[in-house]
């Protein structure tokens, strides 16, 4: 229980710094429209960084009991990931005619963030979440340093680049996962293949998380991006708990050679749903208070937006946590298929409803798609658990 607490505190602390200090300052200094554009630009990094970085990290966790691997196996994958990410940033922002300075800033931010999302694997491998907490405190300090530099230079990109750079320097000085970067194992190709499959799955999932910024910026405006961010603020904070919780879950389950039974999966599902309902109630109560305190220029947003957005985020939280459990019971391909179905549904609903109903239409689309993702994940989990039971009975 202590590791879960340290893990949750680490991520909550960092996101508290972002949402109580960093983002409100940027909103107050730059205005609602430009703040929305910043959220849109940083959404690119929010898609690629946790996808590639976490994929490499989770692959390393899974492979620790499946064969010998070396640091170089994972660093090679991360090098390719950085190249692909920078290429995507250049093409995506270049087509939209953003300045060279912004393209360079977002590219550097993306590479640093990919390494940051991978670096915390150091502490998950040995299940030392006290050091994991220290890692995120250093990251938070880096962002606070970045906001101070923003005050003196007016350069908002510096907030993110400096924040990530500080913790990467810390990781390089204190972690062992970067030692002997050019030494590879015979499992290099397997590591790359497994990491890429997971990365594609995470790219789809994270693209959907950031779809609000992409679609609203292109179909409505920058102000709607800011507004959706604010109404889903508390719910997304809870959704961010998925990462530390899944890290702990996969750390323990990857070391457990016993198959997950229907009874055990039912227990995990009920616990997850119970936590999710509690999160939803808290989010609906807390969101109006946070808006009034941190974003007073958006106090007039409708309560129906708050309820719909938080149902969507809590359903995403529950589905992601259970999907990690399902991942430990089967091959990554099942997760990939579930994500594909979710992506298609969300895109179709969003493209139909957003142009017609604006911000409210997008909220409805996300809510319905995330509920579908939760239900399909539960069904898949029971199916795999029953299959495991049948295999055991046949022995």
Last residue of a domain, one of 160, 177, 209: 209
Query: 242 with 321: CB under 8 angstroms?
Result: yes
253 and 388 share a domain?
yes
- For residues 166 and 235, state if they share a domain: no
220 and 310 share a domain?
A: yes
Instruction: Tell me the pLDDT band of 229, cut-offs 50, 70 and 90.
Output: confident
Task: Tell me which of 101-105, 259-263, 374-378 is least confident.
Answer: 259-263
CA distances from 75 to 65, 180, 379 (A): 19, 10, 36
Neighbours of 78 (CB within 10 A): 21
Q: Which domain holds residue 150?
A: 1-209
Contacts of residue 279, defined as CB under 8 A and 6 or more positions apart, other chains included, come to 235, 238, 314, 317
Same domain, residue pair 192 and 227:
no
Low-confidence winner among 107-116, 133-142, 164-173, 213-222 (lowest mean pLDDT):
213-222
pLDDT score of 330 more than 60:
yes
Measure Cα distances from 395 to 256, 330, 388, 390 in Å.
19, 19, 11, 9
For range 262-290, the mean pLDDT: 85
Distance (Å, whole) CA 43 – CA 29: 20
CA distance 265 to 253: 12
Same domain assignment for residues 205 and 216: no
Considering only CA atoms, give the Rg of the chain.
Answer: 20
Average pLDDT, the chain: 85
Above 90 in pLDDT, residue 336?
A: no
d(CA 34, CA 108): 21
Residues 325 and 385 in one domain: yes
Contact 329, 384 (CB under 8 A): yes
pLDDT of 158 > 70? The answer is yes
DSSP state of 154: -
315 in the same domain as 178: no
**169 contact partners, CB below 8 Å, separation of at least 6:** none
192, 209, 226 — which closes off a domain? 209
- Please tell me whether residues 204 and 246 are part of one structural domain: no
Which pLDDT value is given to residue 199?
92
Highest-scoring range by mean pLDDT, 28-32, 77-81, 253-257, 302-306: 77-81
Beta strands (DSSP E) in the chain are: none
Domain count, the chain: 2
Greater model confidence, 240 or 280: 280
Q: Looking at the structure, do residues 195 and 157 belong to the same domain, yes or no? A: yes
pLDDT of 124-141, one tens digit each?
777 777 888 899 999 999
The pLDDT-based confidence of 349 (bands split at 50, 70, 90) is: very high
Note whether 124 and 61 are within 8 A (CB).
yes
Q: Could you tell me if 202 and 221 lie in one domain?
A: no
Q: Is residue 169 domain-shared with residue 237, that is, in the same domain?
A: no
Last residue of one domain, picked from the residues 209, 234, 252: 209
| 337 and 289 together in one domain | yes
């Amino acid at each position: 229980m202590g590791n879960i607490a340290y893990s949750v505190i680490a991520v909550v602390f960092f996101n508290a710094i972002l949402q109580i200090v960093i983002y409100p300052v940027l909103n107050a200094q730059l205005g609602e429209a430009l703040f929305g554009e910043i959220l849109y630009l940083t959404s690119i990094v929010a898609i690629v960084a946790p996808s590639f970085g976490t994929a490499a990290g989770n692959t390393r966790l899974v492979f620790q009991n499946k064969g010998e691997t070396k640091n170089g196996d994972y660093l090679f994958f991360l090098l390719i990931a950085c190249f692909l990410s920078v290429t995507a940033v250049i093409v995506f922002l270049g087509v939209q005619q953003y300045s060279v300075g912004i393209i360079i800033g977002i590219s550097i931010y993306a590479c640093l963030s990919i390494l940051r999302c991978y670096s915390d694997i150091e502490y998950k491998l040995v299940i030392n979440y006290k050091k994991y907490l220290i890692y995120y405190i250093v990251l938070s300090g880096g962002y606070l340093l970045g906001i101070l530099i923003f005050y003196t230079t007016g350069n908002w990109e510096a907030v993110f680049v400096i924040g990530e750079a500080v913790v990467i320097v810390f990781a390089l000085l204190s972690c062992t996962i970067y030692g002997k970067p050019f030494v590879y194992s015979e499992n290099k190709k397997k590591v790359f293949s497994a990491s890429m499959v997971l990365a594609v799955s995470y790219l789809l999932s994270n693209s959907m998380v950031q779809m609000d910024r992409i679609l609203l910026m292109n179909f409505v405006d920058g102000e709607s991006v800011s507004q959706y961010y604010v109404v889903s603020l508390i719910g997304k904070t809870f959704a961010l708990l998925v990462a530390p919780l899944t890290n702990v879950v996969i750390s323990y389950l990857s070391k457990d050679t016993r198959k997950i039974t229907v009874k055990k999966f039912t227990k995990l599902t009920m616990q997850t749903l119970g936590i999710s309902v509690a999160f939803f109630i808290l989010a609906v109560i807390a969101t109006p208070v946070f808006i009034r305190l941190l974003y007073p220029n958006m106090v007039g947003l409708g309560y129906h937006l708050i309820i719909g957005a938080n149902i969507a985020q809590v359903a995403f939280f529950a589905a992601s946590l259970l999907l990690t459990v399902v991942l430990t019971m089967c091959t990554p391909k099942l997760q990939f298929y579930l994500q594909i179905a979710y992506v298609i549904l969300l895109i179709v609903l969003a493209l139909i409803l957003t142009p017609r109903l604006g911000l409210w239409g997008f909220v409805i689309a996300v809510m319905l798609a995330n509920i579908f993702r939760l239900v399909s994940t539960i069904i898949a989990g029971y199916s795999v658990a029953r299959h495991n039971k049948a295999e055991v009975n046949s022995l």
